[in-house]
Amino acid sequence: MSLRLGLLAVLSLALVAACAGGALGTAARQRVSPLLGALVGAAAVWTGALAWSGGTGGLVVGTVLPGVGARYAPDRLGGAFLVLVGAVTVLASVWALDGARGTAASRTAWVAYPLFVLGLLGVMAAADVVAFLLAWEVMAVASAVLVLADHAHRPEVVGAGLWYAGMTQLSFLLVLGGFAVLASAAGGTAWADLARLAPDAGATGLGVGLLLLGFVTKAGAVPVHVWLPRAHPEAPSHVSALMSAAMVKAGVYGVLLVVVRLFPAGPSWWGLVLLVVGSVSAVFGILQAGVAADLKRLLAYSTTENVGLILVAVGAAQVTTARGDVATGHVLLVAALLLTSGHAAAKSVLFLTAGSVLHATGLRDLDRLGGLGRTMPWTCGAFGVAALGAAGLPVTAGFVAEWTLLQALVHAGGPADPRLGLVSALAVTVVALTAGLALMTFTKAFGIAFLGRPRSDGAAAAHEVGRAERVAAALGALAVLGLGLVPGPMATAAVRALGVDGVTAAGTTLAAGVRLGGVAAAPGAVGGAAAGADGLVPVLDPLALSLATLAALVVVAGVVARLRRRAARRAVELGWGCGGARVSPRMQYTATSYAEPLVRIFDAPLGVSRSVATTTADAPYVVRAMSFRQRVRDVFEEHGYRPLLRAAARVGDAGRALHNGSVHRYLAWSFATFVVVLGLAAR
Amino acid sequence: MSGEVRVVVAVVLQTVVVVVAAPFLVGVLRQVRARWEGRVGQGLLQPWRDLVKLARKEPLQANGSTVVAWVAPVVVLGSGLLLAALVPTVTTAGPARLPADLFVVVSVLLVGTVALGLLGLDAGSAFGGMGSSRHLTIAALVEPTVLLAVYALSVPVGSTALGPIVEGRLADPGRVVAPAGVLAVVALAIAVVAETARIPVDNPSTHLELTMVHEAMVLESSGRDLAAVELGSWLRLSVLLALVANLVVPWGVATAGDGPGLPALAVGVVAVVVKTAVSGVLLATAEVFMAKLRLFRVPELLTGSFVLAFLAVTGSYVIG
């Protein structure tokens, strides 16, 4: 079956959805537009699956600019990302049936939404530079419109929208520049033309450098992450889900496009750059997420962390491959794809359920939430599963991905290559610290929001949300669990998407774990007495792990059932009341107090400032009132962007001297420009 | 008996031995401490008696708490049981589909950690949240040490599975005293102390809520919930202590090569009981002569252990 049909279906459905969004009345729009969005997503999943399994064909748009055409023909890797984006779109659209209200369901928003999805899909499906850039710009503009959906009611949305628009256009310019350099050096715009360039040539290096910078800006890596913690919280929740789970992946796809598809034989410094950027992003992102009290801001910073881990995997793959350890490099690339899919599943659920919490309580501030587990059991369950996934615990997709990454890292290098060993030791440290802090972050997010007692009236008045929101969250949570319980098919599919080897499904049935044949130690290096030829290949079978746990728990359940007959559970007002410790909900730990140890330990990288003011009566020991203020800043923004913005403002001020309102002067400027252009053209 | 059946028998036996012995190990720790402090002590059986007493009592559940109040203790216990089955204490044998991969072992440990942390937050009391926050902070900071120590141990064997690591040390005792191996085990030991909430990171016998970490989280649990949490924590302590003992003194453990027959298993049981009891005595003795660190001094200790683990990794490349 040709891909042409699928691509046409996606294109026409998206255009119909955009027209419907513009033409329908409010009530009809709220029913029809989300369904059309879900259809676009489903069509994308279908098309992507075809491309992933090796389908051929494509869609040629004859004229996008005068005399320039564009070709959309996804390969296997693009197909994998199409499936991912399509699946997230389906979830977000289903959620929007109940979840998108008010300004999030305005005419403009429902016109922009399908176009945003179309742009995203176009990026993954593009087969040449023009097609890629066109889709990239559609995606950038439409998403900026969506971020601004609620600008009329909340002033902070405008600031977020400005930052987002600025950064996303910066990323576009960098990608445009990078592709321009590569295309002029290659003399063609198709991927096949670019791939013929020598990877170690100067022009290639410049082009790839610009591209990587542009792509990591879109991916939200440090230090170009500043748009993410602003735009994600202010956008409508289904758009945040789509942005975090799918659009950020466009940046990841771009990086993979460069280092896997165009230049698989690239020099190792590309990988080192990605490793450093990824490491800083991972640790900084999770630290900021750990201390964040705004639920969606926490999730946004955790996106930076996840992108960081993906970049660590890709960077390490590039370095190991360039240093000759190709098999381990392949396993690392598979780990990158597993991280991507696991993160997409978990983060879409987290953003959607955060949106449900926002509806039910009107709050994003964790410090004022609490006790939602009783009033919103579905949302609580889905959030809990997804939080497990984001924290990388078994048996979720996130765990399988982190396990694969760690296994590949500890097998990279080895005694033959100590320098690579040092790199992988540092990478393991980064992954470990990130995983540990992610554990704390998501225990905090889940425990503070859903357990304990309500910390405000809004939280106390919470109610379970509508069916569509619950269904979307539950489906996503099932995906997180499914990919974690039976990771084999996904791993082999990732292998096929990347065109590598080294990872197989363990076992022949569908219920299969992961087997990393690519990182097996050479038989001669084995010191163990009993290890067979196959005994040292890392194998992970989450299903077997779960069954073993279940077997243990059956015994426990038997004992508990007997004990339960003896003594039933009894509800009391105060479980344990030292000093009336439960009198007021305000005496509970809040998200801010939960993160206090982190703030203390990592005060320098977090840029913490705090002030305590005490008002005393006559004697210094009689305290009347105390005020405590603590602020956590983004050091990159404070020391990187503020000076830059100030400098830009100064340049602008200086430029003002050039235009004083005199027409003569403007004519003189025009003439001078004309002469310069003539001079350049005549050269 | 066929090989697979023998492996299953060995694993079940290993689990049962650990479950039976874990409360005794806690008894040993308390008794040694009591003797050093000049007290008579409660005897080795007291933890078992406590456990049975708690299990028979009705659990009280504070109004407003959720299912976490009874699910979390079961998860803590389940995580402990899984650890007891996976980690080679009596035998290095294990099912081929389920090797005792250290990364998996660590994640099973962390599931228990998170369950405890959520248990602390569930009832909505001030102390529970405090304990939970501290517990998770420590867990987060221990993680790099643990994974790097795993890395260092895996380098000579080429595998992160615990079975081959222990067998490798048995086959080549030089590895036990090699600098990299020693550093890795010391780092791991510090991490174990932190993970199991012992002095100097946490004081298991404290009565002062403001200094509590582990105890603060279980303040609201009672009856069989508390019994499950306690047994789960004791299992975790025993398994990790036995693991460190097996890494330092690997002799006696029933290897997979024996296809573990009953005599080898019997030797394995005796060996691990002796080794763990001795390390328990050493741990309790060390604890008597130490004070608990201030919470914000703990990161310094853990940074130190991290440096050791990092040196172990780099050392294992350079000097083997």
Alpha carbon separation from A408 to A5, A313, A422 (Å, rounded): 39, 9, 14
> Given B107, B157, B209, which is nearest A393 (Cβ)?
B107
- pLDDT tens sequence across A116-148: 999 999 999 999 999 999 999 999 999 999 999
| Residue A490 placed within a domain | yes
SS3 A389: helix
**What is the CB-side half-sphere exposure of residue A614 using CA atoms within 13 A?**
8
What is the band of B208 on the pLDDT scale with cuts at 50, 70, 90? confident
Contact A22, A108 (CB under 8 A): no
Query: For residue B296, is pLDDT > 90?
Result: no
Shared-domain flag, residues A542 and A643: no
Q: d(Cα B53, Cα B233) in Å, to the nearest integer? A: 17
Q: d(Cα A656, Cα A499) in Å, to the nearest integer? A: 55
Q: Which residue, chain included where needed, has tokens 């490349």?
A: B317
Q: Which residue, chain included where needed, has tokens 């995580």?
A: B79
What is the band of A506 on the pLDDT scale with cuts at 50, 70, 90? low
Residue B101 φ/ψ, nearest 5 degrees: -65, 130
| Residue A662 placed within a domain | no
> In the predicted model, what is the mean pLDDT of residues A405-430?
86
DSSP string, A593-627: HHTHHHHHHTHHHHTEEEEEEEEE-SSTT-EEEEE
Alpha carbon separation from A539 to A403, A662, B9 (Å, rounded): 10, 76, 22
Q: Provide the shortest C-alpha distance from residue A323 to chain B (in Å).
A: 17
User: A383: closest CA among A316, A522, A477?
Assistant: A477
Instruction: Spell out the domain ranges in chain B.
Output: 3-318
- pLDDT tens sequence across A435-481: 999 999 999 999 999 999 899 999 999 999 999 999 999 999 999 99
Q: Provide the shortest C-alpha distance from residue B273 to chain A (in Å).
A: 22
Shared-domain flag, residues A464 and A338: yes
> Given B67, B68, B224, which is nearest A563 (Cβ)?
B224
Shared-domain flag, residues A475 and A330: yes
What is the band of B238 on the pLDDT scale with cuts at 50, 70, 90? very high
CA-based R_g, chain A, Å:
27
Query: For residue A508, is pLDDT > 90?
Result: no
B223 close to A (CB below 8 A): yes
The mean pLDDT of chain A is: 89
SS3 A61: strand
| Residue A40 placed within a domain | no
SS3 A68: strand
Instruction: Return the pLDDT at B285.
Output: 95
Q: d(Cα B142, Cα B149) in Å, to the nearest integer? A: 11
Q: Count the domains in chain A.
A: 2
Q: d(Cα A322, Cα A363) in Å, to the nearest integer? A: 49
Instruction: Return the pLDDT at A534.
Output: 52
Q: d(Cα B27, Cα B9) in Å, to the nearest integer? A: 28
User: B280: closest CA among B308, B238, B311?
Assistant: B238
> Given B222, B224, B314, which is nearest A425 (Cβ)?
B314
Q: d(Cα A12, Cα A580) in Å, to the nearest integer? A: 64
Question: Per the CB < 8 Å rule, is B124 touching A370?
Answer: yes
- pLDDT tens sequence across B161-200: 998 899 889 988 888 888 888 999 999 999 999 999 898 8
Shared-domain flag, residues A411 and A483: yes
Query: For residue A638, is pLDDT > 60?
Result: yes
B146 close to A (CB below 8 A): yes
Shared-domain flag, residues A595 and A624: no
Select the more confidently predicted residue: A624 or A510. Answer: A624
Query: Please, what sign has the CA dihedral across residues A482, A485, A489, A495?
Result: positive
Kindly state the tokens that stand for B290.
């130490």
Select the more confidently predicted residue: A249 or B157. Answer: A249
> Given B137, B219, B224, which is nearest A440 (Cβ)?
B137
The mean pLDDT of chain B is: 90
ipTM of the prediction: 0.95
Q: How many Å from the N-terminal Cα to the C-terminal Cα in chain A?
A: 52
Shared-domain flag, residues A507 and A375: yes
**What is the CB-side half-sphere exposure of residue A288 using CA atoms within 13 A?**
28
Query: For residue A378, is pLDDT > 90?
Result: yes
Q: Which residue, chain included where needed, has tokens 């590598």?
A: A500
Kindly state the tokens that stand for B272.
């691990």
What is the band of A530 on the pLDDT scale with cuts at 50, 70, 90? very low
Closest B-chain CA to A407: B160
> Given A448, A569, A582, which is nearest B59 (Cβ)?
A569
Q: What percent of chain A has pLDDT over 70?
A: 95
Q: Looking at this protein, which amino acid is placed at residue B180?
A: A
Question: Per the CB < 8 Å rule, is A371 touching B124?
Answer: yes
What is the band of A582 on the pLDDT scale with cuts at 50, 70, 90? low
Instruction: Return the pLDDT at A559.
Output: 86
Query: For residue A542, is pLDDT > 60?
Result: yes
B81 close to A (CB below 8 A): yes
> In the predicted model, what is the mean pLDDT of residues A92-96?
96
> Given B137, B147, B228, which is nearest A432 (Cβ)?
B147
**What is the CB-side half-sphere exposure of residue A496 using CA atoms within 13 A?**
17
Closest A-chain CA to B208: A578
| Residue A489 placed within a domain | yes
Shared-domain flag, residues A436 and A515: yes
Q: Which residue, chain included where needed, has tokens 């939602």?
A: A372
> In the predicted model, what is the mean pLDDT of residues B66-95?
91
Instruction: Return the pLDDT at B148.
Output: 93
Query: For residue A525, is pLDDT > 50?
Result: no
B178 close to A (CB below 8 A): no
B41 close to A (CB below 8 A): no
Instruction: Return the pLDDT at B257.
Output: 66
Query: For residue A324, is pLDDT > 70?
Result: yes
| Residue A476 placed within a domain | yes
Among A168-172, A329-333, A409-413, the minimum mean pLDDT is found in: A409-413
> Given A429, A567, A574, which is nearest B148 (Cβ)?
A429
Q: Looking at this protein, which amino acid is placed at residue A352?
A: L
Instruction: Return the pLDDT at A200.
Output: 86
Helix count (H) and strand count (E) of chain B? 12, 1
| Residue A165 placed within a domain | no
Instruction: Return the pLDDT at A62.
Output: 79
Instruction: Return the pLDDT at B189.
Output: 94
Query: For residue A246, is pLDDT > 90?
Result: yes
| Residue A75 placed within a domain | no
Shared-domain flag, residues A416 and A509: yes
- pLDDT tens sequence across B55-64: 999 898 888 8
Q: Provide the shortest C-alpha distance from residue B293 to chain A (in Å).
A: 15
Shared-domain flag, residues A393 and A482: yes
Contact A59, A71 (CB under 8 A): yes
Among A35-39, A275-279, B262-266, the minimum mean pLDDT is found in: B262-266
What is the band of A583 on the pLDDT scale with cuts at 50, 70, 90? low
Kindly state the tokens that stand for B216.
């603060």
- pLDDT tens sequence across B62-78: 888 889 998 999 999 99
Cα-based angle A144, A149, A150 (whole degrees, multiple of 5): 130
Shared-domain flag, residues A602 and A622: no
Residues of chain B with Cβ-Cβ distance to A589 below 8 Å are 121, 126, 128-130, 132-133
Domain that residue A516 falls in? 287-293+320-345+354-520+538-546+591-606
B114 close to A (CB below 8 A): yes
Q: d(Cα B273, Cα B132) in Å, to the nearest integer? A: 32
Query: For residue A578, is pLDDT > 70?
Result: no
Q: Where are the alpha helices (DSSP H) in A263-294?
A: 268-291
Q: Provide the shortest C-alpha distance from residue B36 to chain A (in Å).
A: 31
| Residue A482 placed within a domain | yes
Query: For residue A177, is pLDDT > 90?
Result: yes
> Given A403, A422, A578, which is nearest B103 (Cβ)?
A403
Residues of chain B with Cβ-Cβ distance to A520 below 8 Å are 158
What is the band of A533 on the pLDDT scale with cuts at 50, 70, 90? very low
B217 close to A (CB below 8 A): no
Closest B-chain CA to A430: B144
Query: Please, what sign has the CA dihedral across residues A388, A390, A396, A402?
Result: negative
Q: Provide the shortest C-alpha distance from residue A368 to chain B (in Å).
A: 13
Residue A190 φ/ψ, nearest 5 degrees: -70, 155
Determine the length of chain B: 320
DSSP string, B87-141: S-SSBS---TTS--BHHHHHHHHHHHHHHHHHHHHHT--HHHHHHHHHHHHHHHH
Shared-domain flag, residues A498 and A376: yes
Query: For residue B231, is pLDDT > 70?
Result: yes
Q: How many CB pairs under 8 A join A and B?
A: 308
Kindly state the tokens that stand for A654.
């200086």
User: B115: closest CA among B3, B7, B214?
Assistant: B214
SS3 A64: strand
**Residue A574 burial (CB count, 10 A):** 16
**Residue B296 burial (CB count, 10 A):** 11
Shared-domain flag, residues A489 and A438: yes
For an interface test with A, give the residue of B19, B74, B79, B151 to mutate (most A CBs within 10 A): B151
SS3 B172: coil
Query: For residue A581, is pLDDT > 90?
Result: no
For an interface test with A, give the residue of B11, B76, B133 to mutate (most A CBs within 10 A): B133
Query: For residue A579, is pLDDT > 70?
Result: no
Instruction: Return the pLDDT at A523.
Output: 43
B135 close to A (CB below 8 A): no
Residues of chain B with Cβ-Cβ distance to A544 below 8 Å are 95, 97-98
> In the predicted model, what is the mean pLDDT of residues B99-115?
92
User: B238: closest CA among B74, B38, B80, B41?
Assistant: B80
Q: Provide the shortest C-alpha distance from residue B204 to chain A (in Å).
A: 19
> In the predicted model, what is the mean pLDDT of residues B114-124?
92
SS3 A236: coil
Q: Where are the alpha helices (DSSP H) in A635-662?
A: 635-636, 642-656
- pLDDT tens sequence across A281-290: 999 999 999 9
Q: What percent of chain B has pLDDT over 70?
A: 98
The region that residue A514 occupies, defined by phi over 0 for left and psi between -120 and 50 for alpha, beta otherwise, is: beta
Kindly state the tokens that stand for A221.
């890596």
Q: d(Cα A118, Cα A128) in Å, to the nearest integer? A: 17
User: A287: closest CA among A310, A308, A273?
Assistant: A308
Q: d(Cα B186, Cα B200) in Å, to the nearest integer? A: 15
